[in-house]
Every structure is written in structure tokens, then in C-alpha cells.
Chains A and B, each alone.
Chain A
Amino acid sequence: DTGVSQDPRHKITKRGQNVTFRCDPISEHNRLYWYRQTLGQGPEFLTYFQNEAQLEKSRLLSDRFSAERPKGSFSTLEIQRTEQGDSAMYLCASSLYRGPSYEQYFGPGTRLTVT
């Protein structure tokens, strides 16, 4: 296993279109996270799953955003009716509980540009 993978790496879309991103975590990891990172900032938490259950969603995740992890393996993040403010790097991370800390391993990200 080579780590967390994300697809696509880059996406350019017009305002109002829907987009979907995919994340494949490290195979034995039971937790999967989505973050968003804008230029010059650190990543911000969006949501996370334990197996197939979505356990927490940030207030940043508006109604236009939906995430799924149907079989507890890969996850998808969909943005409906994209807006220019959605332009950002969308990062996926996965983790496996190890004692008191969850070490999270990140994928390469999907860079979204909304024109």
C-alpha cells in the first residue's frame, strides 16, 4: 500500500456546476477525514468517518457539500452548485487508532478552481 490517494489532482469547473472528488485511504485505516486548505492557510477540518459512519461535520460544510463512505473504504466529497469561494485544495487523510493519538496521513489533495 502506497498511502492515501486522491482523484482528480486538479479540477477546473464553472460556477454552478457540481463536482465530486474521491479519496482512497490506507487500506487498514478505519478513520477518514476531509479538510479544506486555502492559499496561505493551514487545513481546516470539514468532516470525518469511522468506518462508514459520518461522525462529525464542521459548520464550514454547507448544505451544498455532502460526503459519503458507503462501504467503509473509499470516500467521495461532492460539492453542488459550486461557487468561486469553494476554490481551494481539498485534502483527505486517514488514520488508525494508536494509543492516545490518531496519526493522520494525508493524500496529495485535489486542487479545485471555480471560474
Chain B
Amino acid sequence: TQLLEQSPQFLSIQEGENLTVYCNSSSVFSSLQWYRQEPGEGPVLLVTVVTGGEVKKLKRLTFQFGDARKDSSLHITAAQPGDTGLYLCAGAGTASKLTFGTGTRLQVTL
């Protein structure tokens, strides 16, 4: 069974601070996707990383895929209240179904 552990589970920070969310597994994934989910809504895809060591940037968000394709991180620079939400990493295996992490709930206050 492939498991993805995210840390931290909860994060409450003030506007302007930086943060990093980690997603770790003992399994290798063919790709890894990051989603953000608002209460009562479905997850919204932020980015897909495929190659070991890959780094992708989306405005103030930086995503990195580990060299061994077992782990990933999401770094947010100068967080804003609009970044508040549940951040989920999800690994795709050979069967293409996604295995989700437990999520990191981020609260950004003014």
C-alpha cells in the first residue's frame, strides 16, 4: 500500500510569512500532483511534477519533486489570506489512480 504523509497537518501564520509543506513516502511515484481544496468544494489542481529533482514555480508557490520521486515540497513565499485552504499532495502510480496525503490545513491571517 502506498502511503503519503504530509507535514505539518495544521499551519497558522500571518500574512507575509513564508512556509513549507512536506509530502513524504516510501514509494516511488510516476508523477506527483498538488491540489488546494476549499471547504465544501473539490480539489483544484495546482501543479504536476514528473521528473526527479524537478522544480516548478507558480507565482509565489514553488514545488519540488525529490530526486528519487518519493517526496515533494511546496514552498509559499509571502503568504496571503487568499492562500488559506487545504493543501493535498497526491502520487500517481502505474495504475494512474491517485494516492492522497492527509493534507495540510493552512490559515493565513492579516
Contact = CB atoms under 8 A, between A and B. Distances in A.
* Main SS class of interface, A: strand
Interface in B13-65: 30-31, 33, 35, 40-45, 48, 50
B96 to A, nearest CB: 5
A99 interface: yes
A31 B102 CA distance: 24
Contact of A111 (B40, B88, B90, B95): B40
Interface string A36-64: 00001111110010000000100000000
A33 to B, nearest CB: 7
Interface string A72-88: 00000000000000000
Given A42-B88, A91-B42, A48 B97 contact: yes
Contact of B95 (A41, A56, A101, A106): A56
A42 B45 contact: no
B92 interface: yes
A42 B42 CA distance: 11
A100 B43 contact: no
Contacts of B97: 33, 45, 48, 56
Contact of B50 (A44, A100, A108): A100
B92 A91 contact: no
Q: A-B pairs with the 6 shortest C-beta distances?
A: A42-B100, A101-B31, A106-B42, A45-B97, A102-B96, A109-B42
Interface of A: 4, 6, 31, 33, 35, 40-45, 48, 56, 91, 93, 95, 99-109, 111
